[in-house]
Amino acid sequence: MPGAKSQASSATAQKAPASSPKPGLKSMTGYAQAQTGAGGVGLRISIRSVNHRFLDLHLRVPEGFEPLEPRIRQIVRDRLHRGHLDVTLRYELAGPAAVSINQEVAAAYLRAVEELRKQYGVKSEPDLTAILRLPGVIGSAAASPDDEIARLEPAVASCLHEALDKLDLMRDQEAAALRDDMSVRLATIATHAARVAVLAERARPAFARRLETRLKELLGEFQIDPARLAQEAALAAERSDVSEELARLASHVRQFESLLAGASDVGKKLDFLLQEMQREANTLLSKTPGNENESLEITELALGIKGEIEKIREQVQNIE
């Protein structure tokens, strides 16, 4: 047994070193499994990952493999930074090594049977098959001792790296799909913002007319000083000017696109940018009162921008 396990560990340890994770956008959603076996030893590691604000690692190992937990956790932390992870290690023995016969227990049963035969004059021979079925005689092999666990450590590490490589590939594929979806939505936001800029410029005279009408309603027959009216119109136009909001929104969109292009570990940065984009969209809505055609269209476009931002936010929750 020890020789077989040692051979398995040696064979696995001679494999090519696991590849390092590639830079780029990563999804936190994925599943992967890897296994290795030689000399009657079988190892299987499965990893399931979903989104989480931090790295939340849940590890399950067979009884007796607890000494390997620190090494497994360190390997995972070196490769992944965020996500809820379920990592499961399974250890199996195959062939003749898969079962273990407790010689002492079997001998005790046989001695008891022999004493009963002599005591009661039973001449029939004991049924060996029946003896093997008795509790404690035969069963699964016991957990490996510490020296065997130490010899299996390279095999476990290699198998874990292989599983992480597969998980990384799936996370890349998931991230590519998310990137495509978010890029389309960012383009929609940019198009809406450009349309808002045109409408806002066109709406300036409408703001002045609305102010003049409102002042006439308030002052009745009193004459309005044209200079005062012009001053108030300028103030109203300044309060309703959305050029700064549009400029900041465009800047946030460009930064977002830059992060999508190739950076890694950017989920929190993307989420922050979305908060800022949502702030600008809210300001657009607050600065476009009235029921003129331009104002109504700006409101509709700003609501559309907010909707696209929320949809992007849902996708960003899955980005590492």
CATH of the domain at 254: 1.20.120
pLDDT score recorded for residue 255 = 94
Residues 205 and 308 in one domain: yes
User: 58: pLDDT confidence band, cut at 50, 70 and 90?
Assistant: very high
**What mean pLDDT comes out for the span 142-147?**
56
In the predicted structure, residue 209 carries a pLDDT above the cut 80: no
Distance, in Å, from the CA atom of 48 to the CA atom of 164, rounded to the nearest integer, reads 10
In the predicted structure, residue 308 carries a pLDDT above the cut 90: yes
pTM of the shown model:
0.66
Distance, in Å, from the CA atom of 184 to the CA atom of 9, rounded to the nearest integer, reads 49
End residue of a domain, out of 127, 149, 172: 172
**What mean pLDDT comes out for the span 56-62?**
94
Structural domain for 206, as ranges: 174-316
Residues 128 and 43 in one domain: no
**What mean pLDDT comes out for the span 120-149?**
71
Q: Among candidates 75, 77, 47, which has minimal Cα distance to 60?
A: 47
Residues 291 and 241 in one domain: yes
30 neighbors 176 (Cβ within 8 angstroms) = no
Distance, in Å, from the CA atom of 165 to the CA atom of 177, rounded to the nearest integer, reads 19
Residues 12 and 149 in one domain: yes
Residues 301 and 221 in one domain: yes
User: 240: pLDDT confidence band, cut at 50, 70 and 90?
Assistant: low
> Who wins on pLDDT, 9 or 212?
212
Residues 240 and 149 in one domain: no
Residues 300 and 220 in one domain: yes
Distance, in Å, from the CA atom of 80 to the CA atom of 27, rounded to the nearest integer, reads 11
Residues 234 and 279 in one domain: yes
pLDDT score recorded for residue 216 = 62
In the predicted structure, residue 231 carries a pLDDT above the cut 80: no
In the predicted structure, residue 254 carries a pLDDT above the cut 70: yes
Q: Number of structural domains, the chain?
A: 3
**What mean pLDDT comes out for the span 255-284?**
90
What is the Cβ-side half-sphere exposure of residue 192, based on CA atoms within 13 angstroms? Answer: 24
Token pair 């989480």 is at which residue? Answer: 52
Is the C-alpha dihedral spanning 204, 206, 209, 215 positive or negative?
negative
Q: 30-38 and 83-93 as β-strands: parallel, antiparallel, unpaired?
A: unpaired
Q: CA 22 → CA 25, 47, 166, distances in Å?
A: 9, 18, 12
- Find residue 34's DSSP bridge partners: 45
Residues 246 and 297 in one domain: yes
Residues 244 and 305 in one domain: yes
- Per-residue pLDDT tens digits for 105-133: 888 888 888 888 888 888 888 887 888 77
Structure tokens at 190: 């940019």
Structure tokens at 8: 């398995």
182 neighbors 311 (Cβ within 8 angstroms) = no
Residues 144 and 213 in one domain: no
- Per-residue pLDDT tens digits for 60-88: 998 888 999 999 999 999 999 899 999 99
Could you please report the per-residue DSSP string of the chain?
Answer: -HHHHHHHHHHHHTSPPPPPPPPS--BS-EEEEEEEEETTEEEEEEEEEE--SSEEEEEE--TT-GGGHHHHHHHHHHH--SEEEEEEEEEEE-GGGGEEE-HHHHHHHHHHHHHHHHHHT--SPP-HHHHHHSTTTEEEPPPPPHHHHHHHHHHHHHHHHHHHHHHHHHHHHHHHHHHHHHHHHHHHHHHHHHHHHHHHHHHHHHHHHHHHHHHHHHHTTSPPPHHHHHHHHHHHHHHT--HHHHHHHHHHHHHHHHHHHH-SS-HHHHHHHHHHHHHHHHHHHHT--S-SHHHHHHHHHHHHHHHHHHHHHHHHTTB-
Distance, in Å, from the CA atom of 183 to the CA atom of 312, rounded to the nearest integer, reads 9
Residues 85 and 208 in one domain: no
